[in-house]
Structure 1
Amino acid sequence: MEDDDPSFATETLDPALQKKHHDMLERLSARHQARKSDSPDTSSSSSTLESTSSFLAKFSDARRSIESRIAESRFVSSSSASSSTDPSKHKSDLADISVAINDLEKLLAENSYFLPSYEVRSSLKMVSDLKQSLESLSAELIPKKKFSFKSKSTNKKPEPKLPEIQKPDVVSPPNFLVPVRDSPGLRNKHGETLVKSFKGSSIGEFTLSDLDSCQVQLTGTVNALFLHRLKNCNVYTGPVIGSILIDDVEDCVLVLASHQIRIHCARKSDFYLRVRSRPIIEDSNGVRFAPYCLDYKGIEEDLKTAGLDEETNNWANVDDFRWLRAVQSPNWSVLPGEERVSSVSISSNADS
């Protein structure tokens, strides 16, 4: 089976994290060297290290800025009289902070392919902490009880039906679009069984694109996975250390494990997930969710490497960014137990 990038080749890696980190940097160094004129190896290595440290510096600056805005909003609220607080100002501040956190999450997803695994996990934890802080701030600034409607007149009977209220702690982000990737991957296939192992490879990200009526089996771990334009496909993947971004899938069954999963334009598809954060859907309908059910030789070790060895049950805690009402979104549901596949076993002996 052919790959779309020559960098997707078998390598024997030292199991030590330091060696793995070194191999990742060497690969990125080669990519930089290909884009530039020929230069000494030491110069290319220096450029790679600068790229990694550049991301970490930018990420840290953005994180500190968000933390500062959260702290400032909390301080202003606590020091102001309750009669002088402006709910619309609070909502605007919360929306701005939410957008900043989404931008930070996007920055991490777009750069996770060259980052060491431990940096990806650490950065994901920081993003998760920021989201928790924002949720706590939202609960403080806009308590739900403030959204109840009361009649001041004693002569009027209460209205028989109250208007539906939007969740105060959910802010709609900008339209989510999966970027087109020039990464290694499987593209433009029809009616094929596609098997790939990442064992012994330091590949950072992988793409599945323009597949129709295919069965895809991926074993081992990668930092990021991108899915574009899949129809009538079954996709079974080992754990992803960073993010899975999905755009335009229809009539598919996808068995996925990752720290964060974002789904855009999915229709009539079933997702079997293990995920650390809440799955996000947008512009989707007819999607159903169930727990991760994949099995292959070595999967327990892969799950542990990716920090996904513990089940969080977040597969059932789906956020629909196009449905901000307090009632359940009609666009997704939990897959009934009698319709679920209890376990899917695949081979881990594919050529890498």
Structure 2
Amino acid sequence: MELMDQDTAFKVPNRLVKRNQARLEDVKRKKEEKEIQSVTEEKSEYFSGMFRARRASIEELLSRRSGTDWAAATQALEEATAKAQQLQNFLNDSLTFLNQYEVAQAQTSMQRLHTSLAERRDEVLPKKKFAFKSRSKVTEKVNDELVAGPPTAPTGGSESASTTDEVDWTVRSEQCGFSHLDSVVLTKSGDEIWKQDVLLTHLRNCKVRLLGSPSTLHIKHVSGCEILCGPVSSSVFVDHCSDSTLVLACQQLRTHNTADTQVYLHVTSRAIVEDCHRVGLAPFSWSYPSLDEDFVASGLDPERNNWDQVDDFNWLDTGTPSPNWTLIPERDRRTTWDP
């Protein structure tokens, strides 16, 4: 009986020691979590302040009006474009500690800046007159020199004017891309899209090859298309896309209102989808002769690909995979692409 009492006397302190150790470890863990949270909040506050300041600087450049001084206006536009690219890089580098709401707000601000830059280019850069022969068959292959912009009948002309052999319309010389076409093969070379904002809009059943490194790529209102693009130095924006295949390399991908579409992707940040359904993802698998050089020119890291890291703004349940996008099974992925 005396031995049992001695054993019990030893056991009680051991339990107390273990309990105290557990308490100390819990205090340490909570302290570390608090420190991590504090650092994250500090980084977030620093990002917010720097992002606002840099955005304001760009907006100030875009708001300048230099009257007839075209050189000064062009210089301000070039400076704003460079600063916008730097701001995009700053955002991409900060994605690891920003929450989804902060990312969404910053991405929206960047999209507005890109729109403002495009509008300012319309004001500053000169316009040029082009003349193209009208096409009787939409299935004819489009000439490489075709620039985005639907033909319209001359002002004040009769209905028959749109069927004449020659149709003239004004096209912005700085605009690059294809628009309002059906069932054609479309190609742009590296020289044509180098550091350009490329727009592909209102395309149906088209095959598009962009062999180079543009600054940004906008894909809007396309269906049944196959679009392949070389490394984009900043962002790709996809909106109202259906029944299509996209092969893209970029810093950032933001996809809206898209359904039944496969995306073969190289992206250095996390891809974003919103209001999308049945989107399939696989790694970028296109190759062409100057691809390595274009990766270098774009500034993208070819070894860093977050193709399967996706934020769905319509699905906030982190514990359950989003039903709006899936990974394409390896056996079903395409690895070759016809010219």
Q: What TM-score bracket applies, with the shorter chain setting the length?
A: 0.5 to 0.7
The DSSP-based 3-state class of the residue aligned with 1:264 is: strand
Relative contact order, higher structure (CA 8 A, sep 6+): 1
* 320, 328, 338: which one aligns with 2:331: 338
CA contact (8 A) 2:258 2:276 kept: yes
Shift of 1:63: 11
Q: What corresponds to 2:235 in structure 1?
A: 243
* 295, 299, 302: which one aligns with 2:291: 299
Aligned residue pair count: 216
Q: What corresponds to 1:105 in structure 2?
A: 110
Q: 1-side partners of 2:232 and 2:304: how far apart?
A: 16
Q: What corresponds to 1:268 in structure 2?
A: 260
Q: Say if 2:43 is the partner of 1:50.
A: no
What are the residue-to-residue correspondences of 1:217-296 with 2, within 5 Å?
217-296=209-288
* Higher strand fraction (1 or 2): 2
Q: What corresponds to 2:146 in structure 1?
A: none
Q: What corresponds to 1:4 in structure 2?
A: none
What are the residue-to-residue correspondences of 1:80-99 with 2, within 5 Å?
97-98=102-103
Q: 2-side partners of 1:109 and 1:291: how far apart?
A: 27
CA contact (8 A) 1:294 1:344 kept: yes
Q: What corresponds to 1:212 in structure 2?
A: 204
Q: In 2 relative to 1, CA 62–342 (structure 1 residues): closer, same or farther, beyond 3 Å?
A: closer
The DSSP-based 3-state class of the residue aligned with 1:199 is: helix
The DSSP-based 3-state class of the residue aligned with 2:200 is: strand
- Rg larger in 1 or in 2? 2
Q: 2-side partners of 1:307 and 1:191: how far apart?
A: 33
Q: 2-side partners of 1:253 and 1:265: how far apart?
A: 15
CA contact (8 A) 1:210 1:230 kept: yes
What are the residue-to-residue correspondences of 1:68-83 with 2, within 5 Å?
none
Shift of 1:236: 0.9
Q: 2-side partners of 1:258 and 1:61: how far apart?
A: 15
With structure 1 as the length reference, what TM-score do the two structures score?
0.54
Shift of 1:205: 0.5
Q: 2-side partners of 1:191 and 1:106: how far apart?
A: 30
Q: What corresponds to 1:143 in structure 2?
A: none
Q: In 2 relative to 1, CA 289–224 (structure 1 residues): closer, same or farther, beyond 3 Å?
A: same
Percent sequence identity over aligned pairs: 28
Q: 2-side partners of 1:50 and 1:240: how far apart?
A: 23
Shift of 1:222: 0.8
Q: In 2 relative to 1, CA 183–288 (structure 1 residues): closer, same or farther, beyond 3 Å?
A: same
Q: 2-side partners of 1:100 and 1:187: how far apart?
A: 30
CA contact (8 A) 1:113 1:204 kept: no
Q: 1-side partners of 2:89 and 2:267: how far apart?
A: 23
Q: 2-side partners of 1:275 and 1:313: how far apart?
A: 5
Which 5+ residue runs of structure 1 have no aligned equivalent?
Answer: 1-31, 67-92, 115-181, 347-352
Q: In 2 relative to 1, CA 229–200 (structure 1 residues): closer, same or farther, beyond 3 Å?
A: closer
CA offsets, 1:3-29, max 9 Å, x none? xxxxxxxxxxxxxxxxxxxxxxxxxxx
Which 5+ residue runs of structure 2 have no aligned equivalent?
Answer: 1-61, 92-97, 120-173
Q: In 2 relative to 1, CA 279–95 (structure 1 residues): closer, same or farther, beyond 3 Å?
A: closer
Shift of 1:105: 3.0
Q: 1-side partners of 2:309 and 2:196: how far apart?
A: 28
With structure 2 as the length reference, what TM-score do the two structures score?
0.56
CA offsets, 1:258-297, max 9 Å, x none? 1111000111110000011111111001110000011111
Q: 2-side partners of 1:297 and 1:259: how far apart?
A: 21
Q: In 2 relative to 1, CA 299–185 (structure 1 residues): closer, same or farther, beyond 3 Å?
A: same
Q: Say if 2:182 is the partner of 1:190.
A: yes
Shift of 1:36: 9.1
The DSSP-based 3-state class of the residue aligned with 1:271 is: strand
Q: 2-side partners of 1:295 and 1:48: how far apart?
A: 36
Shift of 1:235: 0.7
The DSSP-based 3-state class of the residue aligned with 2:70 is: helix
Q: 1-side partners of 2:177 and 2:215: how far apart?
A: 13
